[in-house]
């Protein structure tokens, strides 16, 4: 059974940094791309970042380019999102998502339960 368990969310001040993690199990982690998708309160889904199975290719939404970095440790079956220069508009539930292929170009087939990141003074 595929399981994705996010952690690391919380309250951070504007301009601050936070790293969230996603522990994966139930599938061969290195064979699949992984993504972060966020949802601001009362809003729709917004794609944030995708990383290929090998970690060699990363893709980022324009809204987070230069501020967020997606990475993975295939030896630990863990996905990360390093978030710097956080803004109030980054406040959202961040979902860890397993892609259905190694590139990330097809689509997500499993979602974690999400971790809430709140940016506020």
Partner 1 sequence: QSVLTQPPSASGTPGQRVTISCSGSSSNIGSNYVYWYQQLPGTAPKLLIYRNNQRPSGVPDRFSGSKSGTSASLAISGLRSEDEADYYCTTWDDSLSGRVFGGGTKLTVL
DSSP states along 71-89: EEETTTTEEEEEE-S--GG
Among 41, 44, 56, 66, binds partner 1 (CB under 8 A): 44
Bridge partners (DSSP) of residue 68 are 83
Cβ 78 vs Cβ 67: under 8 Å: no
- Of residues 13 and 31, the one with the C-beta less far from partner 1: 31
- Is position 7 an interface residue for partner 1 (rule: CB under 8 A)? no
Residue position matching structure tokens 């974690």: 112
Distances (CA, A) of 87 to 11, 12, 32, 63, 117: 12, 9, 30, 11, 11
Which one of the spans 7-15, 18-26, 44-52, 72-80 is the region binding partner 1 (CB under 8 A)? 44-52
Contact between 53 and partner 1 (CB under 8 A)? no
- Looking at 47, 77, 84, 116, which residue binds partner 1 (CB under 8 A)? 47
- Residue ranges in contact with partner 1 by CB under 8 A: 35, 37, 44-47, 50, 59-62, 95, 100, 104-114
């Amino acid at each position: 059974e595929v399981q994705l368990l996010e952690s690391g969310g919380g309250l951070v001040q504007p301009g601050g940094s936070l790293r969230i993690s996603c522990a994966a199990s139930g599938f061969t982690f290195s064979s699949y791309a992984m993504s972060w998708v966020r949802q601001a309160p009362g809003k729709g889904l917004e794609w944030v970042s995708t990383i290929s199975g090998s970690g060699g290719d990363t893709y980022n939404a324009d809204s987070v380019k230069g501020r967020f970095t997606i990475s993975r440790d295939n030896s630990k079956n863990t996905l990360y999102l390093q978030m710097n220069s956080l803004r109030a508009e980054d406040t959202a539930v961040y979902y860890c998502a397993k892609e259905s292929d190694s590139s990330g170009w097809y689509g997500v087939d499993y979602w974690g339960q999400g971790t809430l990141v709140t940016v506020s003074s």
